[in-house]
Structure 1
Amino acid sequence: MAAPAQARAILFPIYAANVEITRAPWVTAEPMIAEMRLQWWRDVMEEIIAGGEVRRHEVATPLARVLSKSGAEALDRLIAARRWDIYKDPFEDATAFTAYLEDTAGGVLFAACDALGRADNKVAKDAGYASGLASFFQAIPALEDAKRVPLLDGRSEAIVNLAKGGLSRLTQARKARGSLAKHGCIALWQTEALLEQAVADPRAVGEGRLDVGAFTSSIQLSKAALLGRW
Protein backbone atom coordinates (compact mmCIF):
# COMPACT_ATOMS: atom_id res chain seq x y z
CA MET A 1 0.00 0.00 0.00
CA ALA A 2 1.27 3.45 -0.92
CA ALA A 3 0.27 5.14 2.35
CA PRO A 4 2.84 5.97 5.07
CA ALA A 5 3.52 3.30 7.69
CA GLN A 6 1.42 4.98 10.38
CA ALA A 7 -1.58 5.18 8.07
CA ARG A 8 -1.05 1.64 6.81
CA ALA A 9 -1.37 0.31 10.34
CA ILE A 10 -4.87 1.79 10.42
CA LEU A 11 -5.89 1.02 6.86
CA PHE A 12 -4.75 -2.60 6.64
CA PRO A 13 -7.39 -4.02 9.04
CA ILE A 14 -10.15 -2.06 7.29
CA TYR A 15 -9.21 -3.22 3.81
CA ALA A 16 -8.54 -6.76 5.04
CA ALA A 17 -12.08 -6.83 6.42
CA ASN A 18 -13.39 -5.43 3.14
CA VAL A 19 -11.66 -8.24 1.23
CA GLU A 20 -13.16 -10.88 3.53
CA ILE A 21 -16.63 -9.36 3.27
CA THR A 22 -16.39 -9.01 -0.51
CA ARG A 23 -15.30 -12.65 -0.87
CA ALA A 24 -18.02 -14.06 1.38
CA PRO A 25 -20.79 -14.31 -1.24
CA TRP A 26 -18.46 -15.92 -3.78
CA VAL A 27 -16.74 -18.71 -1.84
CA THR A 28 -19.83 -20.91 -1.77
CA ALA A 29 -22.64 -21.77 -4.15
CA GLU A 30 -25.07 -22.07 -1.23
CA PRO A 31 -26.94 -18.80 -0.56
CA MET A 32 -27.67 -19.76 3.05
CA ILE A 33 -23.97 -20.29 3.80
CA ALA A 34 -23.10 -16.98 2.14
CA GLU A 35 -25.77 -15.25 4.22
CA MET A 36 -24.27 -16.78 7.36
CA ARG A 37 -20.80 -15.55 6.42
CA LEU A 38 -22.06 -12.03 5.94
CA GLN A 39 -24.09 -12.20 9.15
CA TRP A 40 -20.94 -13.16 11.03
CA TRP A 41 -19.38 -9.89 9.91
CA ARG A 42 -22.52 -7.94 10.78
CA ASP A 43 -22.26 -9.41 14.27
CA VAL A 44 -18.67 -8.15 14.45
CA MET A 45 -19.82 -4.64 13.52
CA GLU A 46 -22.58 -4.82 16.11
CA GLU A 47 -20.00 -5.68 18.78
CA ILE A 48 -17.77 -2.79 17.72
CA ILE A 49 -20.72 -0.37 17.71
CA ALA A 50 -21.75 -1.54 21.18
CA GLY A 51 -18.25 -0.79 22.45
CA GLY A 52 -17.86 -4.03 24.37
CA GLU A 53 -15.69 -7.05 23.85
CA VAL A 54 -15.19 -8.08 20.22
CA ARG A 55 -14.65 -11.70 19.24
CA ARG A 56 -11.08 -12.81 18.68
CA HIS A 57 -10.23 -13.15 15.01
CA GLU A 58 -7.19 -12.41 12.87
CA VAL A 59 -9.01 -9.56 11.09
CA ALA A 60 -11.83 -8.61 13.47
CA THR A 61 -9.49 -8.08 16.44
CA PRO A 62 -7.21 -5.46 14.81
CA LEU A 63 -10.24 -3.96 13.07
CA ALA A 64 -11.89 -3.26 16.41
CA ARG A 65 -8.82 -1.28 17.49
CA VAL A 66 -9.04 1.21 14.62
CA LEU A 67 -12.73 1.43 13.74
CA SER A 68 -15.02 4.03 15.29
CA LYS A 69 -18.74 3.56 15.85
CA SER A 70 -19.44 5.57 12.69
CA GLY A 71 -16.95 3.49 10.73
CA ALA A 72 -18.53 0.26 11.96
CA GLU A 73 -21.98 1.54 11.00
CA ALA A 74 -20.66 2.30 7.50
CA LEU A 75 -19.21 -1.19 7.18
CA ASP A 76 -22.44 -2.70 8.44
CA ARG A 77 -24.27 -1.00 5.56
CA LEU A 78 -21.55 -2.28 3.24
CA ILE A 79 -22.17 -5.85 4.42
CA ALA A 80 -25.91 -5.50 3.93
CA ALA A 81 -25.31 -4.22 0.38
CA ARG A 82 -23.10 -7.21 -0.40
CA ARG A 83 -26.14 -9.48 -0.09
CA TRP A 84 -26.84 -8.56 -3.72
CA ASP A 85 -23.72 -10.53 -4.67
CA ILE A 86 -25.23 -13.74 -3.30
CA TYR A 87 -28.15 -13.92 -5.70
CA LYS A 88 -28.63 -13.70 -9.46
CA ASP A 89 -31.40 -11.13 -9.42
CA PRO A 90 -30.67 -7.82 -11.18
CA PHE A 91 -30.80 -4.55 -9.30
CA GLU A 92 -34.38 -3.47 -8.75
CA ASP A 93 -33.80 -0.06 -10.31
CA ALA A 94 -31.23 2.70 -10.78
CA THR A 95 -31.72 3.83 -7.19
CA ALA A 96 -30.79 0.38 -5.88
CA PHE A 97 -27.67 0.32 -8.07
CA THR A 98 -26.62 3.75 -6.82
CA ALA A 99 -27.14 2.72 -3.20
CA TYR A 100 -25.06 -0.42 -3.76
CA LEU A 101 -22.08 1.58 -5.00
CA GLU A 102 -22.43 4.23 -2.29
CA ASP A 103 -22.69 1.66 0.49
CA THR A 104 -19.88 -0.60 -0.74
CA ALA A 105 -17.11 1.60 -2.17
CA GLY A 106 -18.40 4.67 -0.36
CA GLY A 107 -18.70 2.78 2.90
CA VAL A 108 -15.15 1.49 2.98
CA LEU A 109 -13.84 4.92 1.91
CA PHE A 110 -15.72 6.61 4.75
CA ALA A 111 -14.50 4.03 7.28
CA ALA A 112 -10.90 4.46 6.14
CA CYS A 113 -10.96 8.26 6.22
CA ASP A 114 -12.86 8.31 9.52
CA ALA A 115 -10.27 6.03 11.12
CA LEU A 116 -7.57 8.44 9.92
CA GLY A 117 -9.36 11.36 11.55
CA ARG A 118 -11.23 13.20 8.80
CA ALA A 119 -14.32 12.04 6.92
CA ASP A 120 -17.51 13.48 5.48
CA ASN A 121 -20.28 11.04 4.60
CA LYS A 122 -21.62 12.97 1.58
CA VAL A 123 -18.19 13.47 0.05
CA ALA A 124 -17.27 9.83 0.70
CA LYS A 125 -20.48 8.73 -1.02
CA ASP A 126 -19.75 10.88 -4.06
CA ALA A 127 -16.15 9.70 -4.39
CA GLY A 128 -17.09 6.15 -3.47
CA TYR A 129 -19.83 6.03 -6.09
CA ALA A 130 -17.33 7.03 -8.77
CA SER A 131 -14.68 4.60 -7.56
CA GLY A 132 -17.19 1.80 -7.12
CA LEU A 133 -18.60 2.37 -10.60
CA ALA A 134 -15.14 2.12 -12.17
CA SER A 135 -14.44 -1.13 -10.32
CA PHE A 136 -17.91 -2.47 -11.14
CA PHE A 137 -17.34 -1.77 -14.82
CA GLN A 138 -14.12 -3.80 -14.65
CA ALA A 139 -15.97 -6.67 -12.97
CA ILE A 140 -18.81 -6.89 -15.51
CA PRO A 141 -17.31 -9.67 -17.68
CA ALA A 142 -16.76 -11.86 -14.61
CA LEU A 143 -20.24 -11.09 -13.31
CA GLU A 144 -21.77 -12.05 -16.65
CA ASP A 145 -19.73 -15.27 -16.69
CA ALA A 146 -21.25 -16.02 -13.28
CA LYS A 147 -24.74 -15.63 -14.83
CA ARG A 148 -25.41 -12.31 -13.11
CA VAL A 149 -27.17 -9.29 -14.59
CA PRO A 150 -24.86 -6.43 -13.56
CA LEU A 151 -26.51 -3.58 -15.49
CA LEU A 152 -30.16 -2.82 -16.09
CA ASP A 153 -29.14 -1.36 -19.45
CA GLY A 154 -25.90 -2.59 -20.99
CA ARG A 155 -26.04 -0.52 -24.17
CA SER A 156 -23.06 1.68 -24.96
CA GLU A 157 -25.14 4.84 -24.54
CA ALA A 158 -26.18 3.76 -21.04
CA ILE A 159 -22.60 2.95 -20.06
CA VAL A 160 -21.44 6.36 -21.28
CA ASN A 161 -24.16 8.08 -19.26
CA LEU A 162 -23.25 6.12 -16.13
CA ALA A 163 -19.56 6.93 -16.56
CA LYS A 164 -20.32 10.63 -17.07
CA GLY A 165 -22.43 10.56 -13.92
CA GLY A 166 -19.55 8.99 -12.03
CA LEU A 167 -17.15 11.66 -13.28
CA SER A 168 -19.60 14.36 -12.22
CA ARG A 169 -19.78 12.98 -8.70
CA LEU A 170 -15.99 12.67 -8.59
CA THR A 171 -15.76 16.34 -9.53
CA GLN A 172 -18.16 17.23 -6.72
CA ALA A 173 -16.09 15.23 -4.24
CA ARG A 174 -12.90 16.95 -5.36
CA LYS A 175 -14.37 20.32 -4.50
CA ALA A 176 -14.43 19.16 -0.87
CA ARG A 177 -11.41 16.87 -0.92
CA GLY A 178 -10.13 18.51 2.27
CA SER A 179 -12.98 16.89 4.19
CA LEU A 180 -11.51 13.43 3.58
CA ALA A 181 -8.25 12.17 5.07
CA LYS A 182 -5.56 12.36 2.38
CA HIS A 183 -4.18 8.86 2.84
CA GLY A 184 -7.62 7.32 3.03
CA CYS A 185 -8.27 8.34 -0.57
CA ILE A 186 -5.36 6.61 -2.29
CA ALA A 187 -7.79 3.92 -3.47
CA LEU A 188 -9.29 6.53 -5.82
CA TRP A 189 -6.13 6.76 -7.90
CA GLN A 190 -7.44 5.07 -11.08
CA THR A 191 -11.05 6.23 -10.90
CA GLU A 192 -10.97 9.19 -13.27
CA ALA A 193 -8.87 7.47 -15.92
CA LEU A 194 -11.09 4.37 -15.95
CA LEU A 195 -14.32 6.34 -16.19
CA GLU A 196 -12.91 8.55 -18.95
CA GLN A 197 -11.96 5.41 -20.87
CA ALA A 198 -15.50 4.08 -20.42
CA VAL A 199 -16.87 7.31 -21.90
CA ALA A 200 -14.49 7.16 -24.86
CA ASP A 201 -14.77 3.41 -25.44
CA PRO A 202 -17.86 1.96 -23.75
CA ARG A 203 -17.42 -1.41 -25.45
CA ALA A 204 -14.24 -1.87 -23.42
CA VAL A 205 -16.47 -2.50 -20.39
CA GLY A 206 -18.23 -5.57 -21.73
CA GLU A 207 -15.13 -6.82 -23.52
CA GLY A 208 -12.96 -6.68 -20.40
CA ARG A 209 -10.56 -4.09 -21.81
CA LEU A 210 -11.12 -1.36 -19.23
CA ASP A 211 -7.55 -0.78 -18.07
CA VAL A 212 -5.56 2.43 -17.92
CA GLY A 213 -2.18 0.77 -18.45
CA ALA A 214 0.92 0.51 -16.30
CA PHE A 215 2.41 3.93 -17.12
CA THR A 216 -0.76 5.91 -16.43
CA SER A 217 -1.42 3.83 -13.32
CA SER A 218 2.03 4.61 -11.97
CA ILE A 219 1.56 8.35 -12.47
CA GLN A 220 -1.90 8.38 -10.91
CA LEU A 221 -0.77 6.34 -7.91
CA SER A 222 2.17 8.67 -7.30
CA LYS A 223 -0.11 11.72 -7.44
CA ALA A 224 -2.53 10.13 -4.98
CA ALA A 225 0.15 8.98 -2.56
CA LEU A 226 2.44 12.00 -2.59
CA LEU A 227 0.11 14.90 -3.35
CA GLY A 228 -3.28 13.62 -2.27
CA ARG A 229 -4.50 14.30 -5.81
CA TRP A 230 -7.26 12.05 -7.09
Structure 2
Amino acid sequence: MERERAATVRRMARKADPDRAIAALFAPLTARDDLFALFAFNGELARIADQVSEPGLGAIRLQWWRDALARAEAGEATGHPVADAFGSVLARRGLSRERIAGLIDARSFDIGETIMPDTRTLDAYLFDTTGGLFALAAEIVGAEGENQGLIAQAAGQAYGLVRVMRSLPVLAAKGRTYLAA
Protein backbone atom coordinates (compact mmCIF):
# COMPACT_ATOMS: atom_id res chain seq x y z
CA MET A 1 0.00 0.00 0.00
CA GLU A 2 2.77 2.41 0.97
CA ARG A 3 4.61 1.67 -2.28
CA GLU A 4 1.49 2.27 -4.36
CA ARG A 5 0.88 5.58 -2.60
CA ALA A 6 4.49 6.66 -3.18
CA ALA A 7 4.22 5.80 -6.89
CA THR A 8 0.93 7.72 -7.17
CA VAL A 9 2.41 10.74 -5.42
CA ARG A 10 5.47 10.65 -7.70
CA ARG A 11 3.22 10.58 -10.77
CA MET A 12 1.14 13.47 -9.43
CA ALA A 13 4.28 15.51 -8.70
CA ARG A 14 5.66 14.87 -12.19
CA LYS A 15 2.37 15.90 -13.79
CA ALA A 16 1.91 19.01 -11.65
CA ASP A 17 5.49 20.23 -11.64
CA PRO A 18 7.86 18.43 -14.01
CA ASP A 19 10.78 20.82 -13.33
CA ARG A 20 10.80 20.24 -9.59
CA ALA A 21 10.12 16.52 -10.00
CA ILE A 22 13.26 16.22 -12.14
CA ALA A 23 15.24 18.25 -9.60
CA ALA A 24 14.07 15.88 -6.85
CA LEU A 25 15.81 13.03 -8.66
CA PHE A 26 19.14 14.71 -7.83
CA ALA A 27 18.35 14.87 -4.10
CA PRO A 28 19.61 12.25 -1.67
CA LEU A 29 17.59 9.05 -1.92
CA THR A 30 16.34 9.47 1.65
CA ALA A 31 14.70 12.80 0.72
CA ARG A 32 13.22 12.03 -2.69
CA ASP A 33 9.81 10.67 -1.72
CA ASP A 34 9.37 13.51 0.76
CA LEU A 35 10.21 16.05 -1.95
CA PHE A 36 7.74 14.39 -4.32
CA ALA A 37 5.08 14.65 -1.60
CA LEU A 38 5.85 18.36 -1.13
CA PHE A 39 5.71 19.08 -4.86
CA ALA A 40 2.53 17.04 -5.35
CA PHE A 41 0.95 18.92 -2.43
CA ASN A 42 1.86 22.23 -4.05
CA GLY A 43 0.42 20.98 -7.34
CA GLU A 44 -2.85 20.11 -5.62
CA LEU A 45 -3.04 23.61 -4.11
CA ALA A 46 -2.25 25.24 -7.46
CA ARG A 47 -5.01 23.27 -9.21
CA ILE A 48 -7.74 24.56 -6.93
CA ALA A 49 -8.18 27.80 -8.90
CA ASP A 50 -8.89 25.78 -12.05
CA GLN A 51 -11.29 23.44 -10.29
CA VAL A 52 -13.67 25.93 -8.69
CA SER A 53 -16.11 28.41 -10.14
CA GLU A 54 -16.20 30.84 -7.23
CA PRO A 55 -13.86 31.96 -4.44
CA GLY A 56 -15.95 30.48 -1.62
CA LEU A 57 -15.56 26.99 -3.04
CA GLY A 58 -11.82 27.51 -3.32
CA ALA A 59 -11.66 28.67 0.29
CA ILE A 60 -13.42 25.46 1.33
CA ARG A 61 -10.83 23.38 -0.52
CA LEU A 62 -7.95 25.30 1.05
CA GLN A 63 -9.48 24.68 4.47
CA TRP A 64 -9.87 21.00 3.61
CA TRP A 65 -6.12 20.84 2.98
CA ARG A 66 -5.36 22.49 6.32
CA ASP A 67 -7.60 19.99 8.12
CA ALA A 68 -6.42 16.99 6.08
CA LEU A 69 -2.76 17.72 6.79
CA ALA A 70 -3.46 18.05 10.51
CA ARG A 71 -5.26 14.69 10.50
CA ALA A 72 -2.62 12.99 8.35
CA GLU A 73 0.19 14.32 10.50
CA ALA A 74 -1.56 12.78 13.51
CA GLY A 75 -1.57 9.43 11.71
CA GLU A 76 -5.18 9.42 10.51
CA ALA A 77 -5.80 8.32 6.92
CA THR A 78 -7.53 10.98 4.83
CA GLY A 79 -8.09 8.88 1.74
CA HIS A 80 -6.10 11.31 -0.40
CA PRO A 81 -2.65 9.96 -1.34
CA VAL A 82 -0.96 13.37 -1.35
CA ALA A 83 -2.47 14.47 1.96
CA ASP A 84 -1.49 11.18 3.58
CA ALA A 85 2.04 11.24 2.14
CA PHE A 86 2.71 14.87 3.01
CA GLY A 87 1.15 14.45 6.45
CA SER A 88 3.62 11.65 7.04
CA VAL A 89 6.45 13.96 5.95
CA LEU A 90 5.23 16.58 8.43
CA ALA A 91 5.15 14.04 11.25
CA ARG A 92 8.66 12.76 10.54
CA ARG A 93 10.48 15.94 9.57
CA GLY A 94 8.87 18.70 11.63
CA LEU A 95 8.76 21.15 8.73
CA SER A 96 7.99 24.80 9.31
CA ARG A 97 4.25 25.09 9.96
CA GLU A 98 4.49 28.82 9.25
CA ARG A 99 5.78 28.17 5.72
CA ILE A 100 3.13 25.54 5.07
CA ALA A 101 0.40 27.90 6.29
CA GLY A 102 1.86 30.64 4.10
CA LEU A 103 1.86 28.32 1.11
CA ILE A 104 -1.81 27.46 1.62
CA ASP A 105 -2.87 31.03 2.47
CA ALA A 106 -1.12 32.48 -0.59
CA ARG A 107 -3.30 30.33 -2.84
CA SER A 108 -6.26 32.46 -1.73
CA PHE A 109 -5.08 34.97 -4.32
CA ASP A 110 -5.37 32.34 -7.05
CA ILE A 111 -9.01 31.70 -6.25
CA GLY A 112 -10.17 35.21 -5.51
CA GLU A 113 -8.29 37.79 -7.50
CA THR A 114 -7.60 38.23 -11.19
CA ILE A 115 -5.03 41.03 -11.21
CA MET A 116 -1.99 41.37 -8.96
CA PRO A 117 -2.47 44.78 -7.33
CA ASP A 118 1.16 45.80 -6.88
CA THR A 119 4.75 44.64 -6.80
CA ARG A 120 4.79 44.28 -3.02
CA THR A 121 1.87 41.84 -3.20
CA LEU A 122 3.56 39.92 -6.01
CA ASP A 123 6.78 39.67 -3.99
CA ALA A 124 4.86 38.37 -0.96
CA TYR A 125 3.00 35.86 -3.14
CA LEU A 126 6.22 34.59 -4.69
CA PHE A 127 7.90 34.39 -1.28
CA ASP A 128 5.05 32.35 0.17
CA THR A 129 4.58 30.06 -2.82
CA THR A 130 7.79 29.49 -4.74
CA GLY A 131 10.10 30.74 -1.97
CA GLY A 132 8.22 28.64 0.56
CA LEU A 133 8.75 25.57 -1.60
CA PHE A 134 12.49 26.24 -1.82
CA ALA A 135 12.67 26.69 1.95
CA LEU A 136 10.63 23.56 2.68
CA ALA A 137 12.69 21.53 0.19
CA ALA A 138 15.85 22.79 1.90
CA GLU A 139 14.45 21.62 5.24
CA ILE A 140 13.71 18.20 3.77
CA VAL A 141 17.25 17.71 2.42
CA GLY A 142 18.73 19.00 5.68
CA ALA A 143 20.24 22.24 4.40
CA GLU A 144 21.32 24.54 7.16
CA GLY A 145 22.64 28.04 7.34
CA GLU A 146 21.88 31.45 8.68
CA ASN A 147 21.01 32.83 5.24
CA GLN A 148 18.71 29.97 4.23
CA GLY A 149 15.58 32.17 4.42
CA LEU A 150 17.13 34.91 2.30
CA ILE A 151 18.33 32.40 -0.27
CA ALA A 152 14.87 30.79 -0.46
CA GLN A 153 13.27 34.23 -0.84
CA ALA A 154 15.62 35.26 -3.66
CA ALA A 155 15.33 31.90 -5.42
CA GLY A 156 11.56 31.98 -5.01
CA GLN A 157 11.30 35.44 -6.50
CA ALA A 158 13.55 34.61 -9.46
CA TYR A 159 12.06 31.21 -10.25
CA GLY A 160 8.54 32.44 -9.52
CA LEU A 161 8.88 35.35 -11.94
CA VAL A 162 10.13 33.00 -14.65
CA ARG A 163 7.12 30.74 -14.09
CA VAL A 164 4.76 33.73 -14.18
CA MET A 165 6.29 34.84 -17.48
CA ARG A 166 6.03 31.33 -18.94
CA SER A 167 2.35 31.16 -17.99
CA LEU A 168 1.34 34.61 -19.24
CA PRO A 169 -0.57 33.30 -22.29
CA VAL A 170 -2.50 30.72 -20.25
CA LEU A 171 -3.30 33.22 -17.50
CA ALA A 172 -4.33 35.90 -20.01
CA ALA A 173 -6.74 33.46 -21.65
CA LYS A 174 -8.37 33.04 -18.23
CA GLY A 175 -8.52 36.81 -17.68
CA ARG A 176 -5.81 36.71 -15.01
CA THR A 177 -2.51 38.50 -14.67
CA TYR A 178 0.11 38.03 -12.00
CA LEU A 179 2.18 40.99 -13.14
CA ALA A 180 1.53 44.11 -11.14
CA ALA A 181 0.53 47.25 -13.04
Per the alignment, residue 78 of structure 1 pairs with: 103
CA distance in 2, matches of 1:76, 1:107: 10
Tell whether the 8 Å contact from 1:47 to 1:53 is kept in structure 2 after alignment: yes
Per the alignment, residue 34 of structure 2 pairs with: 10
Count of matched residue positions in the alignment of Structure 1 and Structure 2: 151
Q: Specify which of 163, 166, 180 is matched with residue 135 of structure 1.
A: 163
Structure 1 residue runs of 4 or more that deviate by more than 4 Å after TM superposition: 45-48
Per the alignment, residue 94 of structure 1 pairs with: 119
Per the alignment, residue 148 of structure 1 pairs with: 176
- Aligned-residue Cα RMSD (Å) equals 2.1
Shift of 1:46: 4.8
Counterpart check, 1:115 vs 2:143: no
Per the alignment, residue 131 of structure 2 pairs with: 106
Shift of 1:26: 1.3
CA distance in 1, matches of 2:170, 2:159: 18
Per the alignment, residue 67 of structure 2 pairs with: 43
Per the alignment, residue 63 of structure 1 pairs with: 86
Tell whether the 8 Å contact from 2:69 to 2:84 is kept in structure 1 after alignment: no
The amino acid of 2:109's aligned partner reads W
CA distance in 1, matches of 2:142, 2:85: 17
1:191-202 equivalences under 5 Å are none
The amino acid of 1:92's aligned partner reads P
Shift of 1:139: 1.0
Shift of 1:141: 1.2
CA distance in 1, matches of 2:47, 2:125: 16
Counterpart check, 1:22 vs 2:39: no
Max radius of gyration: which structure?
1
Shift of 1:87: 2.5
Which deviations, in whole Å up to 9, do the C-alpha atoms of 1:146-193 show, x marking residues without a partner?
Answer: 01132223xxxxxxxxxxxxxxxxxxxxxxxxxxxxxxxxxxxxxxxx
The amino acid of 1:27's aligned partner reads Q
The amino acid of 1:22's aligned partner reads A
Per the alignment, residue 4 of structure 2 pairs with: none
**Change beyond 3 A, Cα 1:54–1:21:** farther
Which deviations, in whole Å up to 9, do the C-alpha atoms of 1:23-47 show, x marking residues without a partner?
Answer: 0121121221111111111224555
Output the TM-score relative to the length of structure 2: 0.74
Which deviations, in whole Å up to 9, do the C-alpha atoms of 1:62-92 show, x marking residues without a partner?
Answer: 2122234443321210111111111244223
CA distance in 2, matches of 1:40, 1:85: 16
CA distance in 1, matches of 2:87, 2:30: 17
CA distance in 2, matches of 1:64, 1:88: 29
The amino acid of 1:93's aligned partner reads D
Per the alignment, residue 8 of structure 2 pairs with: none
CA distance in 2, matches of 1:54, 1:125: 33
Per the alignment, residue 152 of structure 2 pairs with: 124
Output the TM-score relative to the length of structure 1: 0.59
